[in-house]
Structure 1
Amino acid sequence: MLSLLIVLELCFFQCLSLLLWLEERYETVYTRHPGFQKGSKPLLAVDNPFPMELPENLVGEKWAFVQLPFSAVKEEISSLDTNLVFGASLDLDLLGIEIDDKTLIPGLAVASSRAKPLAAWMNGLEVCSIEADLSRARLILSVGISGRYIYATYNKTPETTSEAEAWEAAKKDCGGLHFLAIQGDLDSDDCVGFWLLLDLPPPPV
Structure 2
Amino acid sequence: MGNIWELDFYSRPILDENQKKVWEVLICESPSDVRAKTDSLFRYAQYCPSTQVNSVWLRTALQEAIDKAGEAPIKVRFFRRQMNNMITKACQDAGIPALPSRRTLFLSQWIKQRMEEVYPQEPGYQGKTNPSVRLERPLPQRLPDALEGKQWAFVTLEASDFADMPEWEIGFGEAFPLELAQLSPETRIPGILIFSPRALPIAGWMSGLEMAYLRYETKPENRLILETGATESWVVANIRTPQLLKEAEGFEQTKQNANGVHFIGVQSDPAAQSFEGFWLLQEVNV
TM-score, L = length of structure 1: 0.77
Which amino acid letter does the alignment assign opposite residue 90 of structure 1?
Answer: F
After superposition, where does 1:15-54 map in structure 2 within 5 Å?
Answer: 15-28=104-117, 29=119, 36=128, 42-54=131-143
Q: 1:92 aligns with which of 178, 182, 204?
A: 178
| Number of the residue aligned with 1:10 | 5
| TM-aligned CA deviation for residue 73 of structure 1 | 2.8
Q: Which has the bigger relative contact order, CA under 8 A and spacing at least 6?
A: 1
**Between Structure 1 and Structure 2, which shows a larger proportion of helix residues?**
1
Shift of 1:34: 5.3
- The superposition leaves residues 159-182 of structure 1 with CA deviations (integer Å, 9 ceiling, x where unpaired) of 332221111111111111111000
**What code does the residue aligned with 2:156 have?**
Q
Shift of 1:27: 4.3
Identical columns (%): 31
Looking at structure 2, the residues matched to 90 and 147 of structure 1 have their Cα atoms a distance apart, in angstroms, of 22
Q: How many corresponding residue pairs?
A: 187
Q: Is the 8 A contact 1:69 1:104 kept in 2?
A: yes
Of structures 1 and 2, the larger Rg is shown by: 2
Calculate the aligned-residue CA RMSD, in Å: 2.7
Is 1:148 matched up with 2:233?
yes
Q: Which residue in the other structure is 2:34 paired with?
A: none
Please list the CA deviations of residues 95-127 of structure 1 after superposition, one character each: whole Å capped at 9, or x if unmatched: 252331x43211100000111221122111111
50-59 or 169-178, larger mean C-alpha shift: 50-59
Are residues 34 and 197 of structure 1, via their aligned partners in 2, closer, same or farther at CA, if it must alter by over 3 Å? closer
Give unmatched runs, 5+ long, in structure 2.
Answer: 7-28, 31-76, 78-103
Q: Is 1:72 matched with 2:156?
A: no
Going from structure 1 to structure 2, the CA distance change for 1:113 and 1:170 (only over 3 Å counts) comes to same
The CA distance in 2 between the partners of 1:137 and 1:148, in whole Å, is 15
- Alignment partner of 2:107: what SS? helix
Return the alpha-carbon distance in structure 1 between the equivalents of residues 142 and 199 of structure 2: 20
**Where in structure 1 are there 5+ consecutive unaligned residues?**
none
1: CA distance between counterparts of 2:151 and 2:269?
8
The CA distance in 2 between the partners of 1:67 and 1:103, in whole Å, is 10
| Aligned counterpart for 1:121 among listed residues 182, 199, 205 | 205
TM-score by length of 2: 0.57
Structure with more of its chain in strand, by fraction: 2
How far apart are the structure 2 equivalents of 1:78 and 1:52? Answer: 34
